[in-house]
């Protein structure tokens, strides 16, 4: 939880603060025995910087942070897969990717706040229109999300073209909702589009792993996904599983509500799809 959060925050930290984060991520077990002065010394920064990182993690003070870290480290640690290696056999890659993806889900479940999902779901159900925004890979997820939510009766659409995003964003108002997807939270086009939607009065949501990233500024509420543990791996894999999970949860909540409201709708959908299938 704390370390997961730290990874999410990582990109938004300054160089000096990153030194603290690096030390923390590398040897959390040692840190719980250090005073702030010692940690500052080892990370080669001032106490003030350590203190600032701790505050950014949401703690009121260093002691409180250490207590939290101690609690977290006491819980048995998940099986950490070793890092990917260039000359791994396919069998090894399979195991590692599986573990990594599972870990990504676990991490996401730690940073994703149920109350936020709940709030977004409620708001979504009474929005006139919901638009999903994303470019590149995130654009595909946006489209996929739009299709899924449309199936359960939400009036929704997705835009992955920046120009269309801005145009549509400008036409939204306070009855509407815009959900932007960006893994890093730093994609200019998406941030800008969401800001336009917000300026137009729409309720804005973002799905991102980038805590404190630019997109969070343009969001009324942020649903956090996790960031990969091994930063070196990031360029190798670009799994969208964390975002998928966030959407799975949101979708399931919405679906349950929809089911409560119209229990017969699901049979209908199935009937419509039947002729498209064999069996």
Interactions with a second copy, residue window 57-86 (CB under 8 A)? 63-64, 66-67, 70-77, 84, 86
Look at strands 203-208 and 156-159 and give their pairing. unpaired
CA dist 147 and 134 (Å) reads 14
Given a second copy, DNA, none, residue 157, with its beta carbon under 5 to 8 Å by kind, binds none
Smaller CB separation from DNA, 54 or 121: 54
Rounded distance, CA 68 to CA 239, Å? 30
Residue 17 interacts with which of a second copy, DNA, none, CB < 5 to 8 Å by class: DNA
Binders in 207-236 for a second copy, by CB under 8 A: 213-214, 235-236
Question: Which of DNA, a second copy, none does 102 bind, CB closer than 5 to 8 A by kind?
Answer: a second copy
Instruction: Please choose, from the candidates 139, 102, 119, the residue with its C-alpha nearest in 3D space to the C-alpha of residue 242.
Output: 102
Q: Which stretch binds DNA (CB under 7 A): 33-41, 100-108, 150-158, 247-255?
A: 33-41
54 binds, among a second copy, DNA, none (CB under 5 to 8 A by kind): DNA
Cβ count near 44 (within 10 Å): 11
117 binds a second copy (CB under 8 A): yes
Q: Which does 167 bind (CB under 5 to 8 A by kind): DNA, a second copy, none?
A: none
For the CB of residue 173, give the shortest distance to a second copy in the complex, in Å. Answer: 27
Residue 239 touching a second copy (CB under 8 A): yes
Query: In the complex with DNA, which residue's Cβ is closer, 62 or 251?
Result: 62
What is the closest distance, in whole angstroms, from the C-beta atom of residue 63 to DNA in the complex?
A: 5
Give the N- to C-terminal CA distance of the chain in Å, as an integer. Answer: 45
The single-letter DSSP state of residue 86 is T
Binding string to DNA for residues 35 to 74, with x set by CB under 7 A, is what?
xxxx------xxxxx-xx-x-----xxxxx-x--------
What is the DSSP-derived secondary structure letter of residue 10? Answer: G
Q: Which does 16 bind (CB under 5 to 8 A by kind): a second copy, DNA, none?
A: DNA
Q: Assign residue 136 a region: left if phi > 0, alpha if psi is -120 to 50, beta otherwise?
A: left
Q: Give least dist CB 93 to a second copy, A.
A: 5
**Distance (Å) of CA 202 to CA 131, 150, 219, 243:** 10, 19, 10, 22
Q: Within 113-142, which residues bind DNA (CB under 7 A)?
A: none
Q: Which residues contact 114 (CB under 8 A, 6 or more apart)?
A: none
Residues 142-181 that bind a second copy (CB under 8 A): 143-144, 147-148, 151
Question: Contact with a second copy (CB under 8 A): which of 112, 124, 166, 179?
Answer: 112
Count CA atoms within 13 Å of residue 157 on its CB side.
10
Instruction: Tell me the pairing of strands 176-181 and 203-208.
Output: parallel
Q: Encoding tokens for residue 144? A: 């996929």
Q: How far apart are CA 53 and CA 18, in angstroms?
A: 9
Identify whether the C-beta of residue 181 lies closer than 8 Å to the C-beta of residue 205.
Answer: no
Q: Quick one: 61 or 201, whose CB is closer to a second copy?
A: 61
Binding residues vs DNA (CB under 7 A): 14-17, 35-38, 45-49, 51-52, 54, 60-64, 66
């Amino acid at each position: 939880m704390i370390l997961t959060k730290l990874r999410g925050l990582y990109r938004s930290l300054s160089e000096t603060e990153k030194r603290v984060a690096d030390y923390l991520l590398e040897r959390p077990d040692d840190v719980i025995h250090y005073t702030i002065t010692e940690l500052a010394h080892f990370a080669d920064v001032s106490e003030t910087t350590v203190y600032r990182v701790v505050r950014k993690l949401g703690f009121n003070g260093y002691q409180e942070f250490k207590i939290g870290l101690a609690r977290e480290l006491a819980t048995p640690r998940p099986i950490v897969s070793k890092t990917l290696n260039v000359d791994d056999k396919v069998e090894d890659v399979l195991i590692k990717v599986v573990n990594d993806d599972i870990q990504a889900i676990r991490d996401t479940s730690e940073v994703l706040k149920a109350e936020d999902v709940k709030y977004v779901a409620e708001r979504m159900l009474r929005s006139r229109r919901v638009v999903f925004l994303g470019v590149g890979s995130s654009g595909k997820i946006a489209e996929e999300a739009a299709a899924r939510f449309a199936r359960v009766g939400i009036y929704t659409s997705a835009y992955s073209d920046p120009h269309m995003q801005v145009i549509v964003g400008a036409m939204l108002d306070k009855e509407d909702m815009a959900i932007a997807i960006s893994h890093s939270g730093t994609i200019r086009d998406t941030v800008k589009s969401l800001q336009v939607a917000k300026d137009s009065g729409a309720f804005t949501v973002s799905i991102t792993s980038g805590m404190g990233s630019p997109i969070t500024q343009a969001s009324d509420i942020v649903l956090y996904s996790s960031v990969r543990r091994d930063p070196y791996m990031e360029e190798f894999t670009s799994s969208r599983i964390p975002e998928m999970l966030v959407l799975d949860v949101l979708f399931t909540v919405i679906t349950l509500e929809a089911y409560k409201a119209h229990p017969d709708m699901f049979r209908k959908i199935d009937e419509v799809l039947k002729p498209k299938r064999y069996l």
